[in-house]
Each structure stands twice: as structure tokens, then as C-alpha cells.
Homo-oligomer: A and B are copies of this chain.
Amino acid sequence: MTIAEVSKKIGLSPDTLRYYERIGLIPRVNRNGSGIRNYTEEDCKWIEFIKCMRSAGVQVEALVEYVTLLQQGDETIEARKQILIEQREKLLSRIEEMERALERLSFKIKEYETKLIPAENKLKRLAHNL
């Protein structure tokens, strides 16, 4: 598969795909005789996983570390697992944070719906400062 095909299939720009490879987030992709990338199914699956992680906010750095360990063989299994566990923790607490915000948003929206004008309307007294 060419970079354009992978880009379309997965939904990451060619620039992003090349960038990911440069920084080691994607293991080096094989090239044909004239240096053009030829992605395998395996590459695609990995890229798709990376996309999923990135869109959830997992940091590039953590993923690069994981790939690096992956390429060092079986002695790194435990370290890799730890990375995954750590990232899961981070995701979980991030989701909790978002759910707290969600609740507050919903509460405010409800205030607006009941025409009970919300508390921060008191801030209006500050309007003359603008």
C-alpha cells in the first residue's frame, strides 16, 4: 500500500504518517526500489492502533517508548506491560475529570432551561469594566 492509500484508509495525513515514522512511532516502513514506502497490512494495523491511542490523548512519547521496547525483543515484555497499565490509569483519571466537567455543564444547561438565570450572572456587574 502506498502512503496515499494508507492515509485515506486510516485517516491520517501523509505528512503525519511520515512524521510518525521519523520519530519512531511507526517502525520503519519498507521501501520499493525507488525509495517509495510500501505499507503492509501489519503496518496498517499498528497505525490504526496508534491513531486510536492518539485520538484518546495518549502522548506520542509514551507510544514511542512502547515501540522502542517492542523492537528490543522479549526481555522488555514486562516494561511494555507497565507502560500500557500506566496509560490506562491516565486515561481513566482523565475520563473521570471529564465526567466531572460534564456534570457541571449539564447542571448549568438545566439552569438555562428552567429560566432560573444562572449564578454567574452576578458577574454581569463587572460588565462596565470592559
Contact = CB atoms under 8 A, between A and B. Distances in A.
Q: How many copies does the complex hold?
A: 2
Name the prevailing secondary structure of the A interface residues.
helix
A84 to B, nearest CB: 5
A22 interface: no
Interface of A: 27-28, 42, 45-46, 49, 52-53, 55-58, 67, 70-74, 77, 80-81, 84-85, 87-88, 91-92, 94-95, 97-102, 104-106, 108-109, 112-113, 117, 119-124, 126-127, 129-130
Contact of A46 (B73, B100, B120): B120
A74 B127 CA distance: 12
Given A28-B126, A91-B102, A109 B85 contact: yes
